[in-house]
Amino acid sequence: MSLPDREAIDSALALVRAVMPPTPQQRWPLLDARSGAQVWVKHENHTPVGAFKVRGGLVYMDALRRREPAVRSVMSATRGNHGQSIAFAAARHGLAATIVVPRGNSVEKNAAMRALGAELIEQGEDFQAAREHAVRLAGERGAHMVPSFHADLVRGVASYWVEFFASFATGEAPEVVFVPIGLGSGICACAAARAHAGVRTRIVGVVSAHAPAYRLSFEAGRAIEAPVSTQLADGMACRVPEPQALAIIQREVDEIVSVSDDEVAAAMRAFFADTHNVAEGAGAAPLAALLQQRERWAGRRVGLSLSGGNVDSAQFARVLAAG
């Protein structure tokens, strides 16, 4: 899959802007002091579903209704934010949405999907198993299966990175941005927006050390399946890389780093202390990576994606208490 071109990204941005305003982008003095860098945070935790995924869902569902006007129901699998995105966008188009999640999934993300009108089914021990069940169920019900990675999702998500890069004067974009990797739509969208903006910003992908499939695959130059054991960064709990995403990542991303659950927890606490924003595990991972590489980026211009804030209250309370 190639990156979406300028026209495709601009049309996606117009679709998203019709539903929601640009999310905030902030410098926080305490965060600068903690990291030693000049840090711009893109607050995708401020979207209507508390995460960046809603942008992709809006664009995907609009394109689906144009391609298949007879469609009446959609199916997908998720650990949470993608499912909220699909439920939110499906409701806007009058479509029924069924979302399959793995057993033991986030209680509050499940509640949010139900509140958005989705039927929720718990099946499988991890995301991959849930997705396989969703594919089978979609076939049985005649529902449209929404993938977790697709060109329309990427161009929708690219809208937030276009907002980010467009906020800087020529030549003033950050030297580096840190981007969490789940299945890959977020980081591929960043690459597309970088090309759209014509900037030279370095893109550093961030994975969980307890879900290293994309880092191992990036380093090996081929897809490598790896076990998932993260207890905190469910948005990065990928066992099997998406081939199309991996191909783009290998072409466009400069490096990939790993952060542990302990480092993610520390970054969640740092975001709350320094900005009073709640970050879920994947949303805090970019800050965890910056703090891990503090000496390398000291004094330099850095961008962080706070990609979502949907963490269960009980889990967040444990993270804060542990600090």
pLDDT in tens, 165-176: 999 999 999 999
Whole-angstrom distance between the N-terminal and C-terminal Cα of the chain?
43
Structure confidence at residue 126 (pLDDT): 85
- Beta pairing class for 38-43 and 25-27: antiparallel
| pLDDT class of 56 with cuts at 50, 70, 90 | very high
Cα–Cα dist 16/81, whole Å: 17
pLDDT above 90 (res 100): yes
| pLDDT class of 2 with cuts at 50, 70, 90 | confident
List, in sequence order, every residue forming a beta bridge with 302; answer none if it has no partner: 39, 176
Cα–Cα dist 7/314, whole Å: 44
Write the DSSP symbol of residue 308: B
- Return the percentage of the chain with pLDDT > 70, whole number: 100
Burial class (CB within 10 angstroms; exposed 0-12, middle 13-18, buried 19+) of 311: buried
pLDDT in tens, 233-290: 989 988 999 999 999 999 999 999 999 999 999 999 999 999 999 999 999 999 999 9
Count CA atoms closer than 13 A to 315's CA, side-chain side: 21
Cα–Cα dist 60/85, whole Å: 10
| pLDDT class of 127 with cuts at 50, 70, 90 | confident
Cβ distance 185 to 159 under 8 Å?
no
Structure confidence at residue 133 (pLDDT): 95
Phi-psi region of 287 (alpha: psi -120 to 50; beta: other; left: phi over 0): alpha
Structure confidence at residue 204 (pLDDT): 98
pLDDT in tens, 175-212: 999 999 999 999 999 999 999 999 999 999 999 999 99
User: Where do we find the tokens 């996606």?
Assistant: 12
Structure confidence at residue 323 (pLDDT): 84
